[in-house]
Structure 1
Amino acid sequence: MKPKLLLLILLANIVANFSSPFNSSITLTVVSDEAYTKWVKQMGGGCSFKHSDLFDRAKNKFKPCKTIKVDKNPRLGDFVSVQKAINSLPLVNFCRVVISISAGTYREKVEIPATMSYVCLEGADAEKTIIQWDDTADRIGQNGQPLGTYASATFAVNSPYFIAKNITFKNNAPSPPSGALGKQAVALRISADTAAFISCRIIGAQDTLYDDRGRHYFKDCYIQGSVDFIFGNGLSLYERCHLHAKTNSYGALTAQKRESSLEETGFSFVHCRVTGSGALYLGRAWGSFSRVVFAYTYMDKIITPRGWYNWGDKTREMTVFYGQFKCSGPGSDFGGRVSWSRQLTQQEAEPFISLDFIDGHEWLC
């Protein structure tokens, strides 16, 4: 048996022993620091992100076949509502459609179905073109049941090859008091592969951006929230984004939900900026194999010295992959970080800091 495979089996047995309520005795296996380091590298950056079985080879389309105008003045556009413009498209769409949205605040809840590929939304300016709603997870839906976090989204994308530029997606439900239940209020949910958001603003409080699944690219975006305000199980690259916390107590920037070492998912933040109020964890381990990397990122003093939280489960400390690489600012000091996070080397950081992380050269160019 290969040494790495044997090591993984031994470590899996340790985790299983700690996790099971039926084990009255626990046998600990001593693993050397060198072996553990090799294992962590394999969990984090040792595998290839290219052409995974989980993702098809992407073939994007950029030349538009149709352009639709949305304007609050019916004389100046084809539609006065973003959702009505989307509903006008074929349910199964095969060509790039550009929906141009004039300045204004569009108070509506919008969803793009899974079959409606190649939709592009272009606002006049992110400060001026705003799509907003105020649902929360505990709000009662049409079926008489609470909406839940998934359905609380102001703007939900279920189709591949989506692009948004110069738009604000906002959930303006009030910020909940500490410890309140059912107040998740998603501004944007992306539940499809190969989506890009350029110069957008994504604003909310608890659970602002549901980065659910698929490969995603966020560039020059402003993202604001309080608790777990970027969460989900996407494979996503955030480049030159401004991440702003707005809380009077403890908050968390990320809650990444990778549940297995076989999942090629994770969040990478490159050349970003983290600011705000309160005390902020860089991430909480929502998934047992949660994976988040910050590289070349400025961190304000709001970052807690420990940096990361294990979600109240110490076994996750053995399987998560949390790393920093060449970050700056008063909140970037690695000295007080939890022992199970990593200060990455150039080689360890390399898989996370370019478009290759999300196969971006296939579908962004």
Structure 2
Amino acid sequence: MMLKLFFLILLLEFSSTSSRINGSNGTVMVEQAYRNWVKGFGSSKLKHYRFQKAKNKLDPCLTLKVNKNPKLGDFVSVQKAISSLPQVNTCRVVISISSGIYREKVEIPATMAYITLEGEKVDKTIIEWDDTADRMGQSGHPLGTYASATFAVDAPYFIAKNITFKNRAPKPAAGALGRQAVALRISGDAAAFVHCKFIGAQDTLYDHVGRHYFKNCYIEGSVDFIFGNGLSLYKDCHLHAIARSYGALTAQKRQSFLEDTGFSFVNCKVTGSGALFLGRAWGTFSTVVFAYTYMDKIIIPRGWSNWGDKNRETTVFYGQYKCSGPGAHSRGRVTWSRELTREEAAPFLSLNFIDAGQWLHNLR
């Protein structure tokens, strides 16, 4: 009850402050609302209260091998290896994948927890498909963005290492409809991706829901190529734009003041082509932070887009902390983004941002 009351007080204070931004003291009021929000978000007693405590299992009970040559492995496809497991999986299964291009659409259902995929080499172990949102599915209706994914994970405690996930659909023209083409959708909680690549164009990586960790990963796309409503930490990642004209790196969908979601990019680098927004406010309370990140000149000076809704300018949380490069200058940024103080940035920098102590263990 006290927890709910605390959040209610914060919400009312934020709403009251946001509605009074006219006048000379409006900026001060918004500043105070930001400080209160960050203070609550970083509290060890209040943070991530909607997530269940994670209980990971890392010691393998079974190891399988996938190889294009049937004589050298247990299976010739990734999906067949996954489908061989019990419908309700309760122990860590390691699936080793030999080098090769695996042209298949893969899905891991919610009941198949504790699966690890380990590729032989990230540039030579590739899982690819080419669905787009406007492609007709078996139901006779368009697949939509959600179902366009080459690789989809609904199960918790998933781990992937040294694998490229790719959607081979052609890069769409700016403003094209129905051309979303997801390389990977992660909808399971407590998932980790280490030294992986995600290759696509529009909507490459669907960071849908759950707590996720991306370490030393390469993510390529054009428009909203990291999007969703996950609570995710991207550490030491390379974000590469292939936009022909304009594009956007993130589209985070935090919808409510009380939701525990957001994207944090720490010690990353942003390169590529086109003119790129750091993020677009897909959700009313969209939350994205870049810290210690190198930004090439492709970043639009404004930095951020309100998704065509000026009201979101008073509710989003967009910030930078000690970033570098020609695209990192705060001069020219929209007034509703922030150059964070050390105190404001702190909750987004630590592995505690995703409750890592509960489930990452030796993957750190």
TM range (shorter): over 0.9
Give the counterpart of 2:32 among 15, 30, 38.
38
2:191 is equivalent to residue 195 of structure 1 = yes
2 CA distance for matches of 1:125 and 1:49? 40
2:311 is equivalent to residue 315 of structure 1 = yes
2:113 is equivalent to residue 117 of structure 1 = yes
Name the SS of the counterpart of 1:8 in structure 2.
helix
Name the SS of the counterpart of 2:330 in structure 1.
coil
Query: Does structure 2 conserve the Cα–Cα contact (< 8 Å) formed by 1:49 and 1:264?
Result: no
Query: Does structure 2 conserve the Cα–Cα contact (< 8 Å) formed by 1:205 and 1:226?
Result: yes
2 CA distance for matches of 1:5 and 1:184? 34
2 CA distance for matches of 1:52 and 1:45? 13
2:42 is equivalent to residue 48 of structure 1 = yes
Identity of aligned residues (%): 68
Q: Deviations over 1:69-103 (max 9, x none)?
A: 00000000000000000000001001000000000
What is the deviation of 1:43? Answer: 3.5
Give the counterpart of 1:8 among 4, 9, 14.
14
Give the counterpart of 1:133 among 129, 132, 136.
129
Q: 1:14 to 1:147 in 2, by over 3 A?
A: farther
Match of residue 151 from structure 1: 147
Match of residue 25 from structure 1: none
Name the SS of the counterpart of 2:346 in structure 1.
helix
What is the deviation of 1:59? Answer: 1.0
Q: 1:270 to 1:60 in 2, by over 3 A?
A: same
Q: Deviations over 1:99-152 (max 9, x none)?
A: 000000000000000000000000001100000000000000000000000000
Match of residue 24 from structure 1: none
Letter in 1 for 2:16: L
2:223 is equivalent to residue 224 of structure 1 = no
- 1:251-270 alignment, distance < 5 Å: 251-270=247-266
2 CA distance for matches of 1:307 and 1:128? 35
Match of residue 183 from structure 1: 179
Match of residue 337 from structure 1: 333
1 CA distance for matches of 2:12 and 2:71? 69
What is the deviation of 1:42? Answer: 3.1
Q: Deviations over 1:167-210 (max 9, x none)?
A: 00000100011111000000000001000000000000000000
2 CA distance for matches of 1:12 and 1:34? 11
Match of residue 361 from structure 1: 357
What is the deviation of 1:44? Answer: 4.3
2 CA distance for matches of 1:137 and 1:120? 28
Q: 1:44 to 1:231 in 2, by over 3 A?
A: farther
1 CA distance for matches of 2:225 and 2:39? 24
Give the counterpart of 1:63 among 59, 62, 65.
59
Query: Does structure 2 conserve the Cα–Cα contact (< 8 Å) formed by 1:120 and 1:163?
Result: yes
Q: CA RMSD in A?
A: 1.8
Match of residue 274 from structure 1: 270
Letter in 2 for 1:351: P
Letter in 1 for 2:231: L
Q: 1:200 to 1:45 in 2, by over 3 A?
A: farther
**Unaligned segments of structure 2, at least 5 residues:** none
**Unaligned segments of structure 1, at least 5 residues:** 16-27
2 CA distance for matches of 1:102 and 1:272? 29
1 CA distance for matches of 2:255 and 2:74? 45
- 1:284-299 alignment, distance < 5 Å: 284-299=280-295
Q: Deviations over 1:247-286 (max 9, x none)?
A: 1100000000001110010000000000000000000000
Match of residue 169 from structure 1: 165
What is the deviation of 1:229? Answer: 0.1
2:82 is equivalent to residue 86 of structure 1 = yes
What is the deviation of 1:9? Answer: 3.9
2 CA distance for matches of 1:282 and 1:263? 21
1 CA distance for matches of 2:111 and 2:251? 28
What is the deviation of 1:14? Answer: 6.6
2 CA distance for matches of 1:332 and 1:13? 30
Name the SS of the counterpart of 2:283 in structure 1.
coil
Name the SS of the counterpart of 1:277 in structure 2.
strand
Q: Deviations over 1:19-52 (max 9, x none)?
A: xxxxxxxxx6885433321102233453237563
